[in-house]
Chains A and B, each alone.
Chain A
Amino acid sequence: MAGSSLTPTPHSIDISLTGRCNLKCTYCFYANEMTALTDLPTDKWLACFEELGRLNTMEVTLSGGEAFTRRDLFELIDGVIANRMRYSLLSNGTLITDQVLARFDEGKRRQRLNSIQISIDGSRAEIHDASRPKSFSRAVRGLRLLKEAGFPVTVRVTITKHNLHDLENIAALLLEDIGLPSFSTNDAIPMGSGCQNEAEVALDSHEQYEAMQIVGRLLERYPGRLNAQAGPQAKIQMYAEMEHARRTGEKTTRWGMGRLTACGCTFSKLAILHDGTIVPCNMLTERLGNITTDSVHEIWHTHPVLTAMRQRRFIPMQDVLGCADCEWAPYCNGSCPALPYTLYGDFNRANPHDCYRRFLQEVGHGVSA
C-alpha cells in the first residue's frame, strides 16, 4: 500500500515536448537529456494526449528544451484541448512574437491556458545573459508582449552567483516596470549543465543566506509578490519551521517532519521526456517506460520505482544514510529526492543542497540569527 492519498490516475503531467533549445543556459538541469534523446513526432504525442484524456488527467505542463521551437506546438496544444485538459507552458520567451500570440486566439487555446512562465535572470543583459546567453532583450520583449496582451504570464527567476546582487533590480523590473503581480524564485542546482558549471553558478551556503536576506527585504517591500517552491525563499521558511519545531516541540502540519516526506508529487503527477520516456519527474529521470509502448495507467499503479518513491514517506530520517546522528533529523523531510538520485543513484537519501545541518556548519548560525 502506497497510502490513501494516491490518486487513481495522475492529475497532471509535466511534458518535455522537445530536446531542442535555442539557448544554452549554464544551469540547465535538462541538458544531458536534451543531447541524449530524440523528439517524438506529432502523432505519438497526440496518441499520448488521447491516453491522458482517457485517464481523466486534468492538466499538462509543456516545456522542452524550448517548446516554441516545435513547429507543431499549436497542433499539440489542440490535442491537449481535445482531450479535456488545460495546459501551462514553460518558455525562455525569446520566440514569442505578435504572430505567435495571434495563434493563441484560435479555438480554446487561450481559454485553456493556465499560465505561461518566462525565465528572467537579470535586470539587464549582462546579468541575464551570463546564465542565459544572448537572450535578455528577446526574453523581455516576449514577456512584455504577453503582459500587454493580457496573457496569464508568470516569471521564474533562478538565483545564481551572477544575479544574487541584482535581485532587487530584477524585482523592480518585473513588479514595477513591467507590472507583473508577482514572480517566483528558485536557485541553480548541480544537475545537467548546472553540474558542469556548479562553481560558476550555484550558490554556496553563505550566498544562500544572503539570498534569503535579500528576498526577505523584497517581501517587506512587495508583500506576497514573491513566491517559491524551492530555493532560498522556500528554504528560509523550511529552516525557520524546523527551528521553531525544535524549540517548541510544535511540528508543522505543512509536511511530515522526521520522515522522507518530500516530495509528494508521485501521488498525483508524472513526467514524460521528449522521447516519450515516462519518469517520476523531469528532474528525477529514472526510466519507468515509454508512452509509445507502455500504459501510463499500468505504470502509475504497478511500477516498483513509483511504489518505492511513495513509500519514502514511511522512512524515518534517522534511518537515512548520513542522517542518523543529525540533531535536525526529527524535524527534516529530506527535501527533493532528485538531487540525491543524481548524485548517488539513490532517492532514499537526503538532499545535500537543502541540508540545514550543512547550512549551519558553513554559515555559522541559523536563519533566526
Chain B
Amino acid sequence: MRYLQNPDIVVREEPGEVWLFFDPDTNQRRYSNAVGASVWELCDGTRDLAQIVVEVCAAFEGAPSDQVGADVRELLQNMEADHFIVRAD
C-alpha cells in the first residue's frame, strides 16, 4: 500500500522545530515533529510503509527500526484518518 499527500494540505515549519499541518477544507490543524514532516514528504505515491520506514531510519541515524516502524505506522494511520494523506493504490 502506497501513500500520497492530499494536495490541499498546507504544511508549515513553525518556530521551535514544530511542523503545522493545516487542512483548509476542515480548518483542522495538527502539530508534528521532524519525523512527522519527513514521513509526509515521503508520501509521494511511490512508497509503501516498509520503504518509508527504511528511509526514515536512514534519515534519523541510530533510531531502532522496530520502534521507527511502529511510530511510522501510527503516523500514517493518523494522517490518513485526518485526510492529510490518501492511499495511492
What residues of chain A have their CB less than 8 Å away from a CB belonging to chain B?
4-9, 56, 58, 81, 84-86, 108, 111-112, 114
Contacts and interface: CB of A to CB of B under 8 A. Distances in A.
B10 A84 contact: yes
24 contacts: A4-B15, A4-B16, A6-B15, A7-B14, A7-B15, A8-B12, A8-B13, A8-B14, A56-B12, A58-B10, A58-B12, A58-B22, A58-B24, A81-B24, A84-B8, A84-B10, A84-B24, A85-B24, A86-B24, A86-B27, A111-B25, A112-B24, A112-B25, A114-B27
Contacts of A5: 15
A9 B12 CA distance: 9
A111 B22 CA distance: 15
B11 interface: yes
A56 B14 contact: no
Nearest to B9: A84
A73 B86 CA distance: 33
Contacts of B14: 7-8
Interface of B: 8-16, 22, 24-25, 27
Nearest to A85: B24
Contact of A56 (B11, B15, B16, B25): B11
B68 to A, nearest CB: 27
A54 to B, nearest CB: 11
Given A4-B16, A7-B12, A111-B25, 14 more contacts: A4-B15, A6-B15, A7-B15, A8-B12, A8-B13, A8-B14, A58-B10, A58-B12, A58-B24, A84-B9, A84-B24, A85-B24, A86-B24, A112-B25
A265 B15 CA distance: 15
Contacts of B8: 84
Nearest to A53: B10
Main secondary structure, interface of A, reads: loop
A56 B24 contact: no
B27 A56 contact: no
Nearest to A57: B10
Nearest to A55: B12
Contacts of A9: 12
B54 to A, nearest CB: 28
B27 A108 contact: no
Contacts of B11: 56
A329 B39 CA distance: 49
Contacts of A84: 8-10, 24
Residue among B11, B16, B25 facing the most chain A CB atoms (10 A cut-off):
B25
A334 B10 CA distance: 35
A111 B9 CA distance: 15
B15 to A, nearest CB: 5
A85 B24 CA distance: 6
A86 B16 CA distance: 25
A57 B10 CA distance: 8
B66 to A, nearest CB: 34
Nearest to B25: A111
A140 to B, nearest CB: 28
Contacts of B22: 58
B10 A108 contact: no
A108 B27 CA distance: 13
Contacts of B25: 108, 111-112
A58 B15 CA distance: 16
A242 B10 CA distance: 39
The 8 closest A-B pairs by CB, nearest first: A56-B12, A56-B10, A86-B24, A84-B24, A58-B22, A84-B10, A4-B15, A5-B15
Contacts of B10: 56, 58, 84
Contacts of A114: 27
Nearest to A267: B15
B18 to A, nearest CB: 11
Contacts of A7: 12, 14-15
Contacts of A112: 24-25
Residue among B8, B14, B22, B24 facing the most chain A CB atoms (10 A cut-off):
B24
B31 to A, nearest CB: 13
